[in-house]
Amino acid sequence: MTIQIGNAPCSWGVEFADDARNPTWQSVLKDNADAGYKGIELGPVGFMPEDPSILGDALAQNELSLIGGVIFRPFHDVNAWDDVKDASVRTCQALKAHGAEHLVIIDSISPRRAPTAGRADEAVQMGQAEWAGFRDRIAEIAKMGSEEYGLTVGIHAHAGGFLDFEPELERLLSEVDEKILKICFDTGHHSYAGFDPVAFMERHIDRISYMHFKDIDPAVKADVVKNRTDFYDACGQRIFCKLGQGDVDFPAVHKILRDNDFSGWCTVEQDIDPTLENDPVGDARDNRAYLASIGFSEEA
């Protein structure tokens, strides 16, 4: 297998394109390269330049490949559909322009689900009609990304959204054609939701096309679940720790990928609160060094 390790703007605190607290896109590219990575995700569409010549030159100057991009939008809200479609088209266009492969679909945080992040037995569920519309909106964007733009599209579960928990994710996978929808598997969000990332990987490795490497501090997780803490406040409590310091069994993750001859990009994501004192370059270096220490070299 050949695995390449990338990183993402969320490791620099970039969650929304228009957040005044964001670092500059130029500094994120430089920091990422300085930390030893050869690839980076797009981040929220609009954060990096949408003019292909500007971003293309900057990627080349930093010797970086664009890995993919995330649509983090409320697929659960039919009234937000125009915004979801706009972000989806713009993201697909940007990825296609730079030869990126992976389009990642995430149902963003819902006020109806945020209080029960990590509490599957308490979470409100959609009715059948609402679920059908939700599923069909995801399938429409997956079909567009895969068939119109030639991208590999993966669904990504996220704390506080309507695909937070494993049964919901597996239901969606059973109802949308695998030809258009793969899995972008995030180890940290699966742990945050209260499920076993390694067991899920063992069952679904054939459909996993892309990995997000994230680790979870178990003490913080227990506290934020108990206190019904908002996702972004949980980030402020550093629920996402450096790789190898949390409850995700990354040696087992590596073994599954190796045993199944997984090839391609795996992207580090250590979401941070930009209002805190952070060292994203140091963390990025440490995360890369940890992965190398357990067998994730650029060629293994």
Q: What is the pLDDT of residue 300?
A: 38
- Which amino acid, residue 86? D
- Give the mean model confidence (pLDDT) for residues 225-253: 92
How do residues 20-69 score in pLDDT, each as one tens digit?
A: 999 999 999 999 999 999 999 999 999 999 999 999 999 999 999 999 99
pTM for the structure as a whole: 0.96
Helix or strand (DSSP H, E) at 214: none
How do residues 92-129 score in pLDDT, each as one tens digit?
A: 999 999 999 999 999 999 999 998 999 999 999 999 99
> Angle at CA 196, nearest 5°, toward 286 and 201?
80
Look over the chain and give the mean of its residue pLDDT values, rounded to a whole number: 95
> Angle at CA 295, nearest 5°, toward 292 and 299?
85
The band of 1, judged by pLDDT with boundaries at 50, 70 and 90, is low
- How far apart are alpha carbons 42 and 8 in whole angstroms? 7
Q: What is the pLDDT of residue 256?
A: 98
- Give the mean model confidence (pLDDT) for residues 194-207: 97
Look up residue 295 and give its DSSP letter: T
Other CB atoms within a 10 A radius of the CB of residue 217 amount to 20
> Angle at CA 215, nearest 5°, toward 213 and 218?
160
Q: What is the pLDDT of residue 235?
A: 85
- How far apart are alpha carbons 8 and 68 in whole angstroms? 9
Beta strands in the chain (DSSP E): 3-7, 39-40, 65-66, 68-73, 102-107, 152-156, 182-186, 208-213, 215-216, 240-241, 264-268
How do residues 2-21 score in pLDDT, each as one tens digit?
A: 899 999 999 999 999 999 99
CA–CA distances in Å: residue 218 to residues 38, 145, 242, 276 = 30, 36, 12, 20
CATH of 3-293, one of 3.30.460.10, 3.20.20.150, 1.10.10.10, 2.30.30.60: 3.20.20.150
Q: What is the pLDDT of residue 255?
A: 97
- Give the mean model confidence (pLDDT) for residues 122-142: 97
